[in-house]
Amino acid sequence: MHSQRKAELFLVLTTMIAAWGWVFSREAVQGMPIFGFLGSRFLLAAIILLPFCRGKSNKIKLKQLPKILMTGGWMALNLVLWIYAVATTDSLGEGAFIMSLAMLFVPLVAWVILKNRPSRYFWEALPVAILGLACLTLFKAQLEFKASQLWFLGAAIVQAIYFCYTSLYARSVPILPLTTIQLACTGVVGLVLSLFLEQWPSSLALSTVIWFIASVVIATSLRFVLQLLGQKNTTAANAAIIMILEPVMTVFVAAIWYHERMPFIQVVGCILILLALFYYRWRSFNSSR
């Protein structure tokens, strides 16, 4: 198989695993503390990746550590907001589409942090995405934000900040140590929050342990490896367009596993967000050729 096609297949598999990762997380937190799950999951994922960080090509300098830890802090905040939203939402598919707005928040955040002015295509796509978000929050003909939607929206904004800082520092830091430290930061923050805010049960059900292991091994470690292999052999623009499939996959997975059904107006909202994301990525890719 051609390396480009292989890369695309890896990225499609990544989106499928990411979609099922929402279910793994939702099921796991039914039987264990929310932040305890988050901390344990990401700390173990960091430990799994640690042996691969050996070698000269993966060395980091001491002066780079504060910047890496800062990106790890943003990642931790992003995932703390996300896992709380996942645990409290009644619609995973809806949450996935709200989270996908992070891609459109990135140019705005980059404008503030990196002084990179957004392109014309961003301003053309933004009103469509905002209209889509409005459709997602329409209940009984009135605009109403649910608490979980606000948590997802906050997570999407923080994810955009995390993405900008990571993109800035990833140019000079090897990707494996960077990711491992970020995962470890998230793990430590999650466990500290759990220590102060949560009460652990005396024992965990076998089903909870299985969902937890699936979250660590499949939805975190395997997903990261496949995404890295995919991004290595394709363009960034192509990878970004394929990764837009994640919320679509999540809707299908939630429909299969939880029998979730969205009202028509919310389906319209999801389609509008998807169109805005696809248009922005497609036009950005064509303009850079």
Domain residue spans of the chain: 1-287
| Phi-psi label, residue 266: left if phi above 0, alpha if psi -120 to 50, beta otherwise | alpha
| Phi-psi label, residue 140: left if phi above 0, alpha if psi -120 to 50, beta otherwise | left
pLDDT at residue 139 tops 70: no
Helix (H) / strand (E) element for 138: namely: strand 138-139
Report residue 288's pLDDT band, with 50, 70 and 90 as the boundaries. Answer: low
Provide the pLDDT for residue 155.
96
pLDDT in tens, 38-48: 999 999 999 99
Out of 42-56, 120-134, 141-155, 265-279, least confident range:
141-155
Report residue 144's pLDDT band, with 50, 70 and 90 as the boundaries. Answer: low
Taking residues 119-126, what's their average pLDDT? Answer: 87
DSSP structure string for 169-222 = HHTTS-HHHHHHHHHHHHHHHHHHHHHHH----SS--HHHHHHHHHHHIIIIII
Q: Kindly give the residue spans of alpha helices, DSSP state H, lying in 29-146.
A: 34-49, 65-88, 92-100, 102-113, 120-136
Provide the pLDDT for residue 79.
96
**Do the Cβ atoms of 251 and 91 come closer than 8 Å?**
no
pLDDT at residue 207 tops 60: yes
pLDDT at residue 195 tops 80: yes
How far is residue 1 CA from its own chain's centroid? 29
12/227 Cα distance (integer angstroms): 9
Q: Cα torsion at 119, 120, 124, 129 (round to 10°)?
A: 10
101/99 Cα distance (integer angstroms): 5
Provide the pLDDT for residue 76.
97
12/6 Cα distance (integer angstroms): 10
| Mean per-residue pLDDT of the chain | 86
**Do the Cβ atoms of 178 and 58 come closer than 8 Å?**
no
Provide the pLDDT for residue 142.
55
State both tokens at 4: 């480009």
Q: What is the percent of the chain where pLDDT is above 70?
A: 91
The values of phi and psi at residue 100, to 5°, are -65, -15
**Do the Cβ atoms of 189 and 80 come closer than 8 Å?**
yes
Residues in the chain, total: 289
108/219 Cα distance (integer angstroms): 29
pLDDT at residue 7 tops 90: no
Provide the pLDDT for residue 47.
93
pLDDT in tens, 171-192: 788 888 888 999 999 999 999 9
pLDDT at residue 273 tops 70: yes
How far is residue 95 CA from its own chain's centroid? 11
Helix (H) / strand (E) element for 143: namely: strand 142-143
Q: Is the pTM of this model over 0.85?
A: yes
Nearest alpha-carbon partner for 8 in 176, 278, 241, 285: 241
pLDDT at residue 140 tops 80: no
244/184 Cα distance (integer angstroms): 27
Higher pLDDT, 130 or 214: 214
